[in-house]
Chain A
Amino acid sequence: MPITMKELALEFDKKNPGITQGHRLCPGCGAPITAKFVLMVAKHLGYDPLVGVATGCLEVSTTIYPYTAWSIPYIHNAFENVSATVSGVETASRALKKWGKIPQDKRHAFIAFGGDGGTYDIGLQSLSGAVERGHNFLYVLYDNEGYMNTGNQRSGSTPPGAQTTTAPVGKVIPGKPQLKKNIVEIIAAHENVYAATVSLSDPVDFFNKVEKGLNFQGPAFLAAISPCVRFWRVPESDTVKIARLAVESNYWPLYEVEKGVYRVTRKPKSFKPVEEFLKSQGRFRPLLSRPDADKIVGELQAYVDARWERLLALEEATKDKPIRK
């Protein structure tokens, strides 16, 4: 049963989704909202959530010793190994149930949070291994498209032309030339997995996917677009607005892949131009002021359009054809 907004509002009203106020993330940061959305749904569904967090903003800002913003069990190990760490926790729970140390009916939800550095790049092997082994866990990527914790360096998720300190827009080079990796498809290619994109701007879609991911027998993966107010150069109040623009411009299409079956969960009649999404953020200003801006923006628009066509075709082609039972 999909969760209603009313039920969620009641859950939120308890003010204890697992991560509490007092953390030191920037005002307007997308990461804690993402974490709250996920944990509220988990609690609402009757799960006892445990979280692992990869090194990154969400980690350093919520657990400055001797304080912690987490009112649920939490483990941070290192940057690249949150998936392996959580797979250890999940396995321990199965083992201890076998030994009778934990009640059989205990419903833990094992949730890993990682930024794009810890997911697309340094943590990809650990994530791939854990997904391939089929651990029952939900991995939540808060994608702020760069190494924001260390001060805005390029990642495998940074879009072309976004200003970063390691792929800056210069006099000769117009910033990062490569497109983002398609992380959802990389994970979906593990086949026995539920993988989806979500956006803070579409909470009901987000909640439904958290529910699907948690109830999925095996690994699940959610990629949440998570604006970074600091390095996307946007006002603190605009986080959700920017996330919405990402969806409305089709920069961040909302879809899911369950055992190879694609389903587009949001199909508007028309999309805004990607340029609107780019123009909303200061990180693209150096690019947009270049004489070759139109060419680069045009290429990104062509990619976004082609990806959408492909996504619709995949939805059609994979309908009722799961690759795994």
Chain B
Amino acid sequence: MVTVAEKMRAKQALTGAEAVAHAMRQIEPHVVAAYPITPQTPIVEYFAQFVADGLVKTEMIPVESEHSAMSAVVGAAASGARAMTATSANGLALMHEVVYITASMRLPVVMPVVNRALSGPINIHCDHSDSMAERDSGWIQLYAENNQEAYELTILAVRLAESEEVRLPVMVCLDGFILSHGVEPVEIYPDDQVKNFVGEAKPYYPLLDTSHPVTYGPIDLYDYYFEHKRQQIEGMKGAKRLFPAIAQEFEKAFGKRYDFVERYRTDDADCVIVALGSTNSTIKYAVDWMREEGQKVGLLKLWTFRPFPKEEIRKALDGKKAVVVLDRAASFGAEAPLYEAVKSSLYNAAHRPAMGSYIYGLGGRDIRPEDIRKAADNALKGELNADEQMYLGLRE
């Protein structure tokens, strides 16, 4: 029996970047190819130091761009190696072409994405425009609320990606600076426990098995391309099916429970706020604050954005009076990406809630509990218009 005191002792004050680097150290991939970009840089720096100090056997490829990072990772993963990279914003955009190829080759690559606003104008701070631009790339997307989650989800992601039913790459999204550079107490699990959980990589059709030659990346025209895309769709369904079992194993190993969504004080809530990433901590604070004043507010946090947990969202939100969705990204000329998806999930709800969409925090603009309160207050007053785009923390 581990006491709380012992657990607290095991906690270290770590930035999200360092916590993720520790996850990578414990996973000990055969190959890491990466290119530095703010705010992902410290992940690569910490990991390079682990390599330099001989703490891992990993071969690191210090590539000349993110496009080459993802390309080298594809080569390594197709060869039968466990391969990882990490990036942010413009780096992810530069990879874009190969991000799709990685998924289509069914290579189980895990990539921490430190969320940063996509240029232009150039900005280095947090929003989700970078990972949202890859939402249809065929990658699984997990979002971390805090540094502990960024660490844990990176470990969990390896198992999810490499499962036979899935064989898809995973982005572990953590908010730039807020998490990557923010220091929090993080419990780093013993190395052997993590290694035991992730297990050995089981390669499928590795290129390096020269006695069984395979062709990766053939030209695939109208007679098969469609079926192969369908297989990717089924792979993502596999991720949806399998995630609870892997989460359960994770809980057994480390005592932390993951799910598609986290319901925070939603059971009796009239108004539920939906969000991704670190803002969920701020929302929890605002929810507690409003609850103290007797207002029935709750939070639905999404851990998985791809596969999108439609059923779980419907189950949590059906019958609520109001739902407010906070997006840290815009989709110009259409509804914000998270809002659009949540709204669509409620199409078949028995009792559709009133809905409101707020865009907040673009380019790292701070989001305060007061902002969230304002959004929830409006919702509770019945002032939501499902077609109106609203903003938090924006000068008009």
Contact = CB atoms under 8 A, between A and B. Distances in A.
B76 interface: yes
A129 B63 contact: yes
Contacts of A93: 79, 208
A49 to B, nearest CB: 8
Contacts of A64: 218-219, 221
A52 B210 contact: no
B199 interface: no
B241 interface: no
B78 interface: yes
A96 B68 contact: no
Interface stretch (A27-35, A71-79, A240-248, A305-313): A71-79
B129 interface: no
A71 B215 CA distance: 9
Contacts of B59: 91-92, 94-95, 98
Interface in A74-132: 74-78, 80-81, 83-96, 98-99, 101-102, 108, 125-126, 128-130, 132
Interface in A26-56: 48, 50, 52
Contacts of B101: 77-78
Given A60-B219, A95-B30, A129 B76 contact: no
Contacts of A84: 33, 63, 67-69, 71-72, 75
Interface residues of A, number: 47
Given A84-B67, A108-B210, A63 B217 contact: yes
A68 B218 contact: yes
A85 to B, nearest CB: 4
B208 A89 contact: yes
B61 A133 contact: yes
B208 A102 contact: yes
B218 A50 contact: no
Interface string B195-228: 0000000000001111001111111110110000
Interface string B41-76: 000000000000000011101111101110111111
Contacts of B75: 52, 75, 77, 84-92
A239 B298 CA distance: 74
A108 B208 contact: yes
Given A50-B207, A77-B101, A96-B208, A126 B219 contact: no
30 contacts: A63-B219, A64-B219, A65-B219, A72-B213, A73-B208, A74-B213, A75-B215, A76-B216, A77-B71, A77-B75, A77-B98, A81-B98, A84-B63, A84-B71, A86-B75, A88-B33, A88-B74, A88-B76, A88-B77, A88-B78, A89-B75, A89-B79, A92-B30, A93-B79, A93-B208, A95-B59, A95-B81, A96-B80, A130-B68, A133-B62
Interface of A: 48, 50, 52, 59-60, 63-66, 68, 70-78, 80-81, 83-96, 98-99, 101-102, 108, 125-126, 128-130, 132-133
